[in-house]
């Protein structure tokens, strides 16, 4: 976390590494893109993240596999749970990380050099037929609520941040 001066006092801003750690700890994201005919689509997915990339397993005939293979551009939003035990009692909205990304859709049965955790997403009987989508963030992360107190979530100026996506060699 880095501290930035604001009119109402210092604010803690997330670093690229803070944001990537939040992405690695989460496991659910929403992928959004346009179909070949220009229609917007989005879908929730379970993923694993490591080394600056996210990996998603999908059915070989899914629209995600077909449409992302055509264009390879998408937007991703990762909700990040906040509030610990307090969130069980009070409705605390998640923090979010949103970003643009490029996607590579690997052929059915091809498991890229990916984390061992990726195998846990795909049951053994589906590994030969599923397709793996490899997602690489580009540009900037747009965050809301990452690295700020729960009370700061009420202030968009305090809760928002734009953080550069780190180069792949800098991501652990």
For the chain, what is the largest distance between any 2 Cα atoms, rounded to a whole number of angstroms?
Answer: 57
Token pair for residue 109?
Answer: 């049965």
pLDDT value at residue 10: 45
pLDDT of 8 above 60: no
The C-alpha R_g of the chain, in whole angstroms, comes to 17
The tally of domains found in the chain comes to 1
pLDDT of 70 above 50: yes
What pTM was computed for the model? 0.85
Residue with the bigger pLDDT between 76 and 120: it is: 76
Average pLDDT over residues 12-25: 91
pLDDT tens, residue by residue, 118-162: 777 777 788 788 889 999 999 999 999 998 888 887 888 889 999
DSSP collapsed to 3 states, the chain: CEEEEECCEEEEECCHHHHHHHHHHCCEEEEEEECCCCCEEEEEEECEEECCEEEEEECCCCHHHHHHHHHCEEEEEEEECCCHHHHHCCCCCCEEEEEEEEEEECCCCCCCCCCHHHHHHCCHHHCCCCEEEEEEEEEEEEEECCCCCCHHHHCHHHHEEEEECCCHHHCC
Token pair for residue 96?
Answer: 């979010």
CATH number, position 159: 2.30.110.10
The total of other beta-carbon atoms located within 10 Å of residue 120's CB is 10
Can you say whether residue 127 is alpha, beta or left, with left for phi > 0 and alpha for psi between -120 and 50 degrees? alpha
pLDDT value at residue 96: 96
144 and 7 Cβ atoms separated by less than 8 Å? no
- In the chain, the percentage of residues whose pLDDT exceeds 70 is 87
Domain residues for the domain of 131 are 2-170
pLDDT value at residue 112: 64
């Amino acid at each position: 976390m880095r501290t930035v001066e604001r009119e109402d006092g210092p604010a803690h801003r997330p670093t690229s590494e803070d944001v990537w750690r939040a992405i690695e700890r989460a496991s659910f994201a929403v992928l959004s893109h346009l179909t070949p005919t220009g229609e917007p689509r989005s879908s929730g997915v379970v993923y694993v993240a490591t080394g600056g990339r996210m990996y998603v397993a999908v059915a070989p005939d899914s629209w995600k596999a077909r449409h992302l293979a055509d264009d390879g551009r998408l937007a991703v939003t990762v909700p990040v749970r906040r509030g610990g035990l307090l969130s069980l009692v009070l409705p605390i909205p998640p923090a979010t990380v949103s970003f643009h990304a490029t996607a590579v859709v690997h052929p059915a049965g091809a498991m890229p050099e990916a984390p061992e955790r990726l195998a846990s997403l795909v049951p053994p009987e589906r590994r030969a037929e599923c397709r793996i989508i490899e997602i690489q963030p580009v540009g900037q992360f747009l965050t809301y609520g990452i690295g700020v107190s729960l009370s700061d979530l009420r202030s968009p100026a305090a809760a928002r941040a734009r953080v550069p996506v780190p180069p792949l060699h800098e991501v652990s």
